[in-house]
Amino acid sequence: MAEQQKSNKNSLSLLLLLLITSIGANIYQWKTHSTTVVQHGSDVDSLVNARNEVERELTAVTMELEKYRGIAGNLDTLLNDANARIVEQELRIRKLMSGEKDLTKLSKNLKKEIAALHKLRDEYLEKIDGLMAENEALKKENANLNTQVINLNEQKNLLEGKVMTASQLKVEYVKIGSYKKRGNGKMVESVLAKRTNKIESCFTIMDNKVATNGDKMVYQVITAPNGKPLMGNTKAEFKTSEGEKVFATSSQKVNYTGAKQDLCLSYENDERILEAGTYLVDVYVEGTLVHQSTYILK
The pTM of the full predicted model, rounded to 2 decimals, is: 0.48
Instruction: Find the angle CA(113)-CA(115)-CA(117) to the nearest 5 degrees.
Output: 70
* CA atoms of 94 and 187, how far apart (whole Å): 41
CA distances from 159 to 154, 169, 174, 289 (A): 9, 10, 14, 8
Please say if the pLDDT value at position 196 is more than 70: yes
* CA atoms of 185 and 267, how far apart (whole Å): 16
Among the listed residues 281, 285, 283, the one whose alpha carbon sits nearest the alpha carbon of residue 293:
281
Residues, the chain, total? 298
The least confident of 19-28, 119-128, 180-189, 231-240 is: 19-28
What CATH architecture is 165-297? Sandwich (2.60)
Backbone angles phi, psi at 181, to 5 degrees: -100, 125
The SS3 assignment for 147 reads helix
Instruction: Find the angle CA(285)-CA(289)-CA(293) to the nearest 5 degrees.
Output: 110
* CA atoms of 197 and 215, how far apart (whole Å): 30
Backbone angles phi, psi at 200, to 5 degrees: -130, 140
> What pLDDT digit, counting tens, does each position of 55-71 carry?
787 788 788 878 888 88
- Per-residue pLDDT, 176: 92
Backbone angles phi, psi at 34, to 5 degrees: -65, -45
Mean pLDDT of 32-61: 62
The SS3 assignment for 195 reads helix
Residue ranges of alpha helices (H) inside the chain are 2-66, 73-99, 103-142, 144-162
The least confident of 30-39, 102-111, 187-196, 228-237 is: 30-39
Average pLDDT, the chain: 79
* CA atoms of 82 and 119, how far apart (whole Å): 12
Confidence of residue 34 (pLDDT cuts 50, 70, 90): very low
| Sequence-distant (≥ 6) Cβ neighbours of residue 295 within 8 angstroms | 176, 178, 199, 278, 279, 281
> What pLDDT digit, counting tens, does each position of 6-25 carry?
555 556 566 666 656 666 65
List the chain domain ranges.
Answer: 2-140, 165-297
